[in-house]
């Protein structure tokens, strides 16, 4: 995952930066400590030479031209100095003249003969020097040290530190990764909770169930849900109003057509009938739209339903509506079949499918309905002897306003209403070829709610 | 001549329904406002009131409640919008005797009005008419288009049950139980024999059949 990689990279970079800063600080601290050491060395030398100077060693030596008088520093003093500051060379000047020096070190002419800390190069090495004007004597003491000797090597320390540092880094990466993963799993849980929702389910999420850091997301989602719900209600109300308003003029047209039918001469009777059936079709369309709009807002109930009885009601209504057309209908089995579901929704689906089949059965005049109850599902199959539907078109017909190849009085909404109702029931609708000869078979499958 | 009050505020639908009812032989007064309906309902003597629920200046339900509150017991048929079940229930609660659903089928409306008129006249005649067939339960006689329809006792019982439960399927078992006379179970094909004989006498389309569901008279009571 991208986020993990980015966060881990960031963590590694931070660790590196902290290391670098620590290194620079340590280096500077070491350098300062070395300077302090240099200053201490100069002070020690100064102290060591106090007595000799007081005894007038230099004054005497000055008179002795060859310069082989008493030394300013006794051998013991020099040894003591070298024991403490083995990496420091020194040189002592009196009025600009070299009067004492260590037995080794950079050539004296290269030494900066000024008080304070200086850096110079000699014999290819970098040196650090400290010049000190003795307070009680006119001596200039210069102490110098190679850079290489000053640099207290950080290498071994770093090597020692590396393992615990790496362990710490790895551990924090692990902790971070786990924390991230845990937080992200909450996000994933939220996503799957929302995915599992039906379109109509716009209940706000409960903020207590989610981690505190997800609160802004949960709040935002709840606000979105509220807005969606408002939009839904508006759409619902709009469809409802439109359908209602359209219905009244249609009712007027229908009533006028019926009046006309009674008064008109025989010759135009058929035309008036056609007018009436056109109005009925428009009404069916409005009913269908209203039904689809309302299905969205339907609360699904569940109780034990006599599906056989429901089929009987629906077939009765459909046959009465179809008129005396000699449709042969059969239902198996002949007895009550009970199933736990929402009766109203199932009736909507059955009406749509059976109404559709009866309209098409007019061509073949036969309708076969079978209820097959299994342990965990109930299938209601409705077969007609119509021309059937080519496999490629079946999916299309489950959508809104799609008609089959035959002109029918259908609104084009029947199968999409059935499909919607079945979805709400947690079931499915399937259109297929009849196995026993030509015709369409619509299979409504309800699953047991326990499974 | 029966006199009807029609309350419908739609300028097209109201006159169309009035015209259709006039053709049925009624005197129809059409009102479009709730307050007018209330005034007319109080003053004049109507045989049936047809109230649309969505009226301006006093809805059909308000008018109905006030009339009932004043003790006016004229039969009322409420006209409700499609599928608004709560309106129907509210209408019946408010004291309506019946309801029809928009878009109103005029034949159905006429049948409902006839039924209310019969009840108002208190004519407890024991007859029932569906389509061309009239059954007189008391006299055990039937007519077809006004002509005597000779039926056997079994045929009459089958037809009577189907007509009482019209527009619903009656299972073969229920019909057999109806024919059971206390001693002898009907022979297995008695129902089929009676049905096919009835169809011969009345016409094929009067009784619908569906295997597995039973038989049904599809027409509506007049």
Interface subset of B 28-87, CB within 8 angstroms of A:
81-83
End-to-end Cα, chain A, rounded Å: 35
State yes or no: pLDDT of A63 exceeds 80.
Answer: no
Comparing CA positions, the residue from B204, B219, B215 lying closest to residue B135 is B219
Contact between residue B142 and residue B133 where contact means Cβ atoms under 8 Å apart: yes
Interchain CB distance below 8 Å, A252 and B12 = yes
Is the Cβ of B111 closer than 8 Å to some Cβ of chain A? no
Quick one: pLDDT at residue B44? 79
Q: What percent of chain A has pLDDT over 70?
A: 88
Among the partner residues B13, B107, B212, nearest to A334 by beta-carbon distance: B212
Contact between residue A131 and residue A118 where contact means Cβ atoms under 8 Å apart: yes
* Residue of chain B nearest A309, judged by CA positions: B213
Q: What is the mean pLDDT of residues A134-147?
A: 85
Quick one: pLDDT at residue A451? 44
What lies within 8 Å, CB to CB, of A13 at 6+ separation is none
Q: A233: part of which helix (H) or strand (E)?
A: helix A215-263
Is the Cβ of B110 closer than 8 Å to some Cβ of chain A? no
Q: Structure pTM?
A: 0.60
Distances (CA, A) of A98 to A71, A95, A102, A105: 12, 8, 11, 14
Distances (CA, A) of A262 to A116, A180, A254, B23, B106: 128, 79, 13, 8, 11
Quick one: pLDDT at residue A187? 85
Residue B51 belongs to domain with CATH number: 3.40.50.2300
Is the Cβ of B210 closer than 8 Å to some Cβ of chain A? yes
Domains of chain A by residue range: 2-152, 197-297, 300-447
What lies within 8 Å, CB to CB, of B196 at 6+ separation is none
Do B202 and B99 sit in the same domain of this protein?
Answer: no
pLDDT single digits (tens) B87-144: 566 777 778 888 888 777 888 888 889 888 887 776 556 788 888 898 888 888 899 9
Quick one: pLDDT at residue A77? 83
Residue B78 CA to residue A219 CA, distance in Å, equals 47
Do B27 and B115 sit in the same domain of this protein?
Answer: yes
Do B74 and B151 sit in the same domain of this protein?
Answer: no
Do B17 and B70 sit in the same domain of this protein?
Answer: yes
Q: A133: part of which helix (H) or strand (E)?
A: strand A125-133
Do B95 and B131 sit in the same domain of this protein?
Answer: no
Cis peptide before A108 (omega within 30 of 0): no
Please, what CATH class does the domain formed by A197-297 belong to? mainly alpha
State yes or no: pLDDT of A55 exceeds 50.
Answer: yes
State yes or no: pLDDT of B74 exceeds 80.
Answer: yes
Residue B52: inside a domain: yes
Quick one: pLDDT at residue A161? 79
Quick one: pLDDT at residue A306? 92
Cis peptide before A333 (omega within 30 of 0): yes
Distances (CA, A) of A32 to A82, A117, B139: 21, 11, 131
Do B113 and B190 sit in the same domain of this protein?
Answer: no
A-chain residues within 8 Å CB-CB of B81? 244, 247
Query: In terms of CATH architecture, what is A2-152?
Result: 2-Layer Sandwich (3.30)
- Per CATH, is A300-447 categorized as 3.30.565.10? yes
Contact between residue A443 and residue A429 where contact means Cβ atoms under 8 Å apart: yes
Comparing CA positions, the residue from A284, A290, A301, A308 lying closest to residue A424 is A301
Range of the domain at B101: 3-121
**B119-134 residues labelled b (16+ CB within 10 A) or e (exposed):** eeeeeeeeebbbbbbb
Quick one: pLDDT at residue A310? 92
Residue B11: inside a domain: yes
Q: Who has greater pLDDT, A127 or A65?
A: A127
Interchain CB distance below 8 Å, A331 and B106 = no
Comparing CA positions, the residue from A304, A305, A289 lying closest to residue A246 is A289
Per the structure block, which two tokens stand in for A40? 């201490």
**Average pLDDT value over all residues in chain A:** 82
pLDDT single digits (tens) A212-266: 888 888 899 899 989 988 887 787 778 777 877 788 888 888 888 888 888 878 8
| HSE-CB of B131 using CA atoms within 13 angstroms | 16
Choose one of B102, B121, B140: the last residue of a domain: B121
Choose one of B121, B146, B162: the last residue of a domain: B121
Strand order in the sheet with A139-146: A97-101, A88-94, A139-146, A125-133, A116-122
Residue B147: inside a domain: yes
Residue A319 CA to residue A326 CA, distance in Å, equals 9
Domain count, chain B: 2
State yes or no: pLDDT of A125 exceeds 90.
Answer: no
* Residue of chain A nearest B206, judged by CA positions: A324
Choose one of B76, B101, B121: the last residue of a domain: B121
Residue B222: inside a domain: no
pLDDT single digits (tens) A368-425: 999 999 888 999 999 888 777 777 777 766 665 555 544 455 556 788 888 888 988 8
What lies within 8 Å, CB to CB, of A56 at 6+ separation is none
Residue B207 belongs to domain with CATH number: 1.10.10.10
Residue B172: inside a domain: yes
pLDDT single digits (tens) A78-117: 888 888 888 889 988 887 788 888 888 888 888 888 888 9
Residue B8 CA to residue B54 CA, distance in Å, equals 8
pLDDT classification of A350: cutoffs 50, 70, 90: very high
Residue carrying structure tokens 């059935």: A418
Q: What is the mean pLDDT of residues A63-81?
A: 69
Contact between residue A105 and residue A81 where contact means Cβ atoms under 8 Å apart: no
Contact between residue A418 and residue A431 where contact means Cβ atoms under 8 Å apart: no
Do B87 and B108 sit in the same domain of this protein?
Answer: yes
What lies within 8 Å, CB to CB, of A110 at 6+ separation is A120, A121, A122
Q: What is the mean pLDDT of residues B2-24?
A: 90
Q: Who has greater pLDDT, B1 or B5?
A: B5
């Amino acid at each position: 995952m991208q986020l993990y990689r980015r966060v881990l990279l960031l963590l590694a970079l931070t660790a590196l930066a902290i290391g670098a800063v620590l290194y620079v600080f340590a280096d500077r601290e070491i350098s300062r400590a070395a300077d302090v050491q240099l200053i201490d060395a100069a002070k020690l030398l100064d102290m060591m030479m106090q007595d000799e100077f007081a005894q007038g060693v230099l004054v005497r030596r000055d008179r002795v031209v060859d310069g082989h008088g008493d030394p300013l520093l006794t051998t013991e003093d020099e040894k003591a100095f070298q024991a403490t500051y083995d990496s420091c060379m020194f040189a002592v000047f009196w009025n600009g003249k070299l009067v004492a020096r260590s037995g080794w070190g950079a050539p004296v002419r290269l030494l900066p003969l000024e008080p304070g800390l200086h850096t110079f190069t000699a014999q290819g090495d970098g040196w650090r020097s400290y010049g000190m004007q003795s307070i009680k004597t006119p001596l200039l003491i210069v102490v110098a040290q190679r850079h290489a000797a000053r640099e207290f090597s950080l290498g071994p320390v770093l090597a020692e530190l590396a393992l615990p540092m790496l362990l710490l880094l790895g551990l924090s990466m692990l902790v971070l990764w786990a924390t991230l993963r845990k937080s992200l799993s909450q996000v994933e849980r939220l996503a799957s909770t929302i995915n599992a929702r039906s379109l109509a389910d716009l209940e706000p999420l409960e903020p207590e169930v989610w981690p505190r850091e997800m609160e802004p997301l949960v709040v935002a989602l709840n606000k979105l849900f509220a807005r969606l719900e408002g939009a839904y209600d508006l759409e619902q109300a709009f469809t409802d109003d439109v359908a209602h308003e359209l219905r009244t003029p249609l009712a007027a047209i229908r009533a006028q057509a019926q009046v006309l039918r009674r008064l008109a001469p025989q010759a135009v009777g058929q035309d008036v009938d056609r007018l009436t059936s056109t109005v009925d079709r428009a009404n069916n369309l409005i009913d269908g739209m209203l039904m689809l709009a309302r299905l969205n807002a339907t609360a699904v109930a569940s109780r034990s339903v006599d599906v056989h009885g429901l089929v009987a009601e629906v077939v009765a209504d459909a046959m009465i509506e179809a008129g005396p057309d000699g449709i042969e209908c059969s239902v198996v089995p002949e007895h009550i079949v009970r199933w736990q579901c929402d009766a109203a929704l199932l009736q909507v689906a059955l009406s749509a499918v059976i109404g559709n089949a009866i309209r098409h059965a007019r061509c073949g005049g036969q309708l076969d309905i079978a209820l097959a109850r299994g342990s965990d599902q109930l299938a209601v199959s409705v077969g007609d002897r119509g021309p059937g539907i080519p496999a490629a078109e079946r999916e299309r017909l489950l959508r809104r306003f799609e008609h089959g190849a035959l002109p029918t009085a259908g609104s084009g909404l029947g199968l999409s209403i059935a499909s919607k109702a079945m979805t709400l029931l947690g079931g499915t609708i399937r259109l297929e070829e009849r196995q026993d000869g030509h015709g369409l078979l619509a299979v409504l499958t309800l699953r047991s709610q326990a499974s | 001549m029966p006199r009807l009050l029609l309350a419908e505020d739609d300028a097209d639908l109201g006159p169309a329904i009035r015209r259709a009812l006039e053709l049925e032989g009624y005197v129809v007064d059409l009102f479009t406002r709730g307050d007018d309906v209330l005034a007319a309902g109080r003053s004049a003597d109507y045989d049936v009131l047809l109230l649309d629920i969505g009226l301006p200046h006093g809805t059909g339900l308000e008018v109905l409640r006030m009339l009932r509150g004043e003790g006016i017991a004229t039969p009322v048929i409420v006209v409700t919008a499609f599928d608004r079940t709560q309106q129907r229930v509210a209408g019946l609660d408010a004291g309506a005797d019946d309801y029809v659903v928009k878009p109103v089928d005029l034949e159905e409306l006429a049948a409902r009005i006839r039924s209310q008129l019969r009840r108002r006249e208190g004519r407890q005649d024991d007859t029932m008419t569906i389509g061309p067939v009239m059954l007189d339960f008391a006299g055990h006689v039937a007519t077809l288009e006004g002509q005597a329809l000779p039926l056997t006792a079994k045929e009459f019982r089958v037809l009577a049950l189907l007509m009482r439960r019209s527009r619903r399927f009656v299972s073969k078992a229920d019909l057999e139980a109806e024919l059971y006379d206390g001693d002898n179970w009907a022979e297995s094909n008695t129902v089929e024999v009676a049905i096919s004989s009835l169809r011969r006498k009345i016409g094929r389309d009067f009784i619908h059949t569906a295997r597995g569901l039973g038989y049904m008279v599809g027409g509506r009571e007049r």
